[in-house]
Amino acid sequence: MSHQVKESMLVGKLLLNFTSIFVSLGVFLFGFEQGLMSSLLTNKYFKNYYNNPSPAEIGTMIAILEIGALFSSFEAGKVGDKIGRRRTIRLGSFIFVVGGIIQATSPNIIALGLGRLIGGIAIGFLTTIIPCYQSEISPPSDRGFYACLEFTGNIVGYSTSIWVDYGFSFLENDWSWRSPLIIQCFMGFLLYVGSFVIVETPRWLLDHDHDIEGMIVISDLYADGIIEDEVARFEYRQIKENVLIQRVEGGERSYLYMFSRYKKRLSVACFSQMFAQLNGINIVSYYAPMIFESAGWIGRSAIFMTGINSLVYIASTIPPWYLVDGWGRKPLLLTGSIVMAISLFCIAYSLFLDDTYTPQVVVVGVAQDHADVSCETGQPAYLTAAQLARNPSSRRAEVDGLITGAQVVPQVIASADNLKPVASDVSSVHDDSAIEPPSIEEILHFKLKKERKSWWFMCRGRNFDYEELSH
């Protein structure tokens, strides 16, 4: 007779899908934070309240989020191993709410920057531990799909922030920029509350000798709560044996040791993420409304076109769910790189001509650039890193921390190093410290140099077995 013992109200595929989608709210928050400030930079009430912040102040305010994420990502893995994946998600979401409250109530630009820094620390925890959590609850056959789902969640967060900014831009007061900052607090609070509901990962439970609870969670995830199920028992034995073997093998948990022991695996995982970020996409995303303003979309219409672009961005994350294993990473990378270069060239040339069709060409070019990054370079890199982070499983959280750090470093560079004070005649900007985004020509030049280096190192063909990179 089968006995059904439940750790959760939901079981089976329903539990797995609900948990995976819900915890993706953590990477959703990262995307939301990234897109939120890009639209607020063109808000006249925001600029007036903070006394028309200088380019240096704005560059610092944008970069400081990534700096916070960079430092916390290296500690998140250790914290996740000590207190558990679920509690680490709870900690990250709590810190995110605190940072959001400080931003929403900030009386000056320094307080706003402090709130962004705290929010970045939260993002570092969440974007490190959630891929680890996702990998440890997903069956091996579906891990690629759920890794792609996380990437989509990040882009959905970015798009949501743009449309929230656009909706509140119709208010003619300070609530037009404070309201989006308040909304992010509620999203973080939702994740905090949910962390009391989701299950802990079987891997962490068995690694800390909570065997009974671990068996119940495994049966909930893979056997509809039936603990006698052979699939559940096999999964339990496999995880427990792996835990015991790695205890016997021992080894340090320091980053230096991991790089010396798993040099090839970690190098490919980290550099694939770095190269995927070093293609100009973060610069374009951070300053998209300004790029559209320079092309002739003035004021609120610039935010609207950024929102339209973000919808294309979301749609383009779906094809890799099905293409990445069929085509392979390298063909997607090559195709995406060529099309992105063409898109940026068209944008740069149309801005140079400054003709009546320039606004339309820029919108199409930026949307195409985002689509190519998402579909043909970003998603394959994200999936490659997720696959390589699976082993060694005993150090998965620390490996995810390294990968997150590698992902954030180029974003820090992109957000901090690309603001230029110029004299602008854009009608929606009436101050002496107007800001111009980096030139499309510079992005294009850097992209072409980067693709030559990443062609071999970043991706392999569809038949390449990543388990070959045992060290």
Positive or negative: CA dihedral 418, 422, 428, 429: positive
* 205 inside domain: no
Within 13 A of 415's CA, how many CA atoms are on the CB side? 24
The model's pTM: 0.81
- Residue 210 within any structural domain of the chain: no
Distance separating alpha carbons of residues 184 and 339, to the nearest angstrom: 34
280 to 232, 290, 335, 348: CA distances (angstroms)? 45, 15, 17, 13
DSSP 189-206: HHHHHHTTTSPPPHHHHH
For residue 225, tell me if it sits in a domain.
no
Give domain status of residue 408, yes or no. Answer: yes
- How many H-runs (helices) and E-runs (strands) does the chain carry? 22, 2
**Secondary structure letter of residue 425 according to DSSP:** -
Element (DSSP H or E) covering residue 421 = strand 420-421
Spatial separation of the C-alpha atoms in residues 344 and 444, rounded to whole Å: 6
Q: Do 130 and 27 touch, CB atoms closer than 8 A?
A: yes
* Domain span including residue 281: 12-198+250-468
CATH number (domain holding residue 341): 1.20.1250.20
In a domain, 242, yes or no: no
The per-residue b/e assignment along 1-16, b for 16 or more CB within 10 angstroms, e otherwise, is eeeeebbbebbeeebb
In contact, 162 and 310? CB cutoff 8 Å: yes
Q: pLDDT in tens for each of the 471 residues of the chain?
A: 445 555 556 677 788 888 888 888 888 998 898 888 878 887 889 989 998 888 778 778 878 888 898 889 888 888 998 999 999 999 999 999 999 999 999 999 999 999 999 999 999 999 888 888 888 888 776 766 777 777 788 889 999 999 999 999 899 999 999 999 999 999 999 999 999 988 999 999 998 889 999 899 888 888 877 888 888 888 888 888 888 887 776 655 666 667 677 777 777 777 777 777 776 677 777 777 877 777 777 778 888 888 888 898 888 887 777 766 666 666 776 777 777 778 777 877 887 787 888 888 888 887 777 777 766 566 666 666 666 665 556 566 777 777 777 777 777 766 655 444 333 333 343 444 444 445 544 555 455 455 544 444 444 444 444 444 545
Q: Is residue 233 part of a domain?
A: no
Residue 462 lies in a domain: yes
Look at the chain and report how many structural domains it folds into. 1
Residues 6+ positions from 434 with CB-CB distance below 8 Å: 421, 422, 423, 424, 426
Alpha helix locations (H) across 227-378?
A: 230-249, 255-261, 263-277, 281-286, 288-294, 300-315, 320-327, 329-353, 358-372
Do the domain assignments include residue 236? no
